[in-house]
């Protein structure tokens, strides 16, 4: 069955520190992978996506993610976290462009940033 | 360029009433998706629609829930005879027509449904 696992429910980092949020997926075909961010009371904003090609993907707000097929992972990274990055982060996988374009989301990682 | 518009932002209903949630996709988008987010959980897919067609409703509860995307006007998610367990945030997303490649889904700000 298709699934996405985000093993870390909460993460706290200090401002200026580096960040890595983990995401593992289970998917039968070549996956389309996404990271979204959600601020409290808001919708989801797309940070970055992987469809094909270079496995290191650059996104908005200084985020990047690396697709590792051998590990079924798509971890999100940022070299230096800002206080405004505090939010909930969701990894998602989809059969984008197939018969159904639905996304399967992980349960999210809530990021807190200490001053 | 307006994004995905959902209304209302907040909706309060009593048990047994009906809830109607509206979603206007981004300009040029003809595919609409509805997701539900329960407290402390990620988003769960409910239904995928194109104009006048339901493409995938595998995530819709079998009873009380329905969705439509008419030729004119917004997409509507309808919940009849609401119960406390329907309290959640409901998100709509849209994407361009098939054939426009590499376009992800864009999300609205959601409707927070509270059942008294």
Q: What is the DSSP string of A58-73?
A: E-GGG-EEEEEGGGTE
CA dist., res. A53 & res. B74, Å (int): 36
Average pLDDT over residues A69-98: 90
Q: Is the pLDDT of residue B40 over 80?
A: no
Average pLDDT over residues A81-96: 91
Contact B107 A45 (CB under 8 A): yes
Q: What is the pLDDT of residue B45?
A: 94
Q: Is there a contact between A60 and A47 (Cβ–Cβ < 8 Å)?
A: yes
Average pLDDT over residues A23-46: 88
For chain A, how far is it from start to end, CA to CA, in angstroms? Answer: 41
Q: Which two tokens stand for residue A111?
A: 């990021």
Average pLDDT over residues B1-21: 93
CA dist., res. B49 & res. B60, Å (int): 12
Q: What is the pLDDT of residue B11?
A: 98
Q: Using 50, 70 and 90 to split pLDDT, how confident is the model at B113?
A: very high
Q: Using 50, 70 and 90 to split pLDDT, how confident is the model at B80?
A: very high
Contact A103 B101 (CB under 8 A): no
The distance from CA A53 to its chain's CA centroid, rounded to whole angstroms, is 18
Q: Using 50, 70 and 90 to split pLDDT, how confident is the model at B41?
A: confident
CA dist., res. A36 & res. A13, Å (int): 19
Question: Across A10-14, A49-53, B103-107, which has the greatest mean pLDDT?
Answer: A10-14
CA dist., res. A19 & res. A112, Å (int): 11
Question: Which of B56, B102, B107 lies closest to A44 in CB terms?
Answer: B107
Q: What is the pLDDT of residue B97?
A: 76
Residue A80 has a CB neighbour count (10 Å cut-off) of 11
Contact A97 B98 (CB under 8 A): yes
- Of A17-21, A51-55, A57-61, B85-89, which gets the smallest average pLDDT? A51-55
Q: Is the CB of residue A99 less than 8 Å away from at least one CB of chain B?
A: yes
CA dist., res. B93 & res. B36, Å (int): 11
Q: Using 50, 70 and 90 to split pLDDT, how confident is the model at A5?
A: very high
Q: Is the pLDDT of residue A28 over 90?
A: no
CA dist., res. B34 & res. B106, Å (int): 11
Q: What is the pLDDT of residue B64?
A: 97
Of the candidates B96, B74, B86, the one whose C-alpha atom is nearest the C-alpha of residue B18 is B86
């Amino acid at each position: 069955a298709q699934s996405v696992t985000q093993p870390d429910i909460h993460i706290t980092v200090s401002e200026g520190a580096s960040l890595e949020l983990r995401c593992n997926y289970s998917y039968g075909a070549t996956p389309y992978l996404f990271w979204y961010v959600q601020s409290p009371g808001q919708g989801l904003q797309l940070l970055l996506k992987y469809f094909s090609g270079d496995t290191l993907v650059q996104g908005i707000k200084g985020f990047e993610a690396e697709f590792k097929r051998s590990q079924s992972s798509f971890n999100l990274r940022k070299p230096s976290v800002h206080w405004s990055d505090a939010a909930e982060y969701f990894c998602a996988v989809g059969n984008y462009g197939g018969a159904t374009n639905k996304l399967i989301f992980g349960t999210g990682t809530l990021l807190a940033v200490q001053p | 360029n307006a994004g995905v518009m959902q209304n209302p932002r907040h909706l309060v209903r009593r048990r047994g009433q009906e809830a109607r949630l509206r979603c206007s996709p981004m300009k040029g988008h003809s595919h609409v998706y509805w997701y539900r987010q329960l407290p402390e959980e990620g988003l769960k897919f409910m239904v995928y629609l194109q104009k006048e067609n339901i493409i995938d409703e595998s995530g819709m509860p079998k009873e009380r829930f329905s969705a439509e995307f008419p030729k004119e006007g917004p997409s509507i998610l309808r919940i009849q005879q609401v119960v406390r367990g329907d309290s959640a945030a409901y998100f709509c997303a849209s994407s361009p027509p098939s054939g426009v490649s590499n376009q992800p889904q864009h999300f609205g700000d959601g409707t927070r449904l509270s059942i008294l």
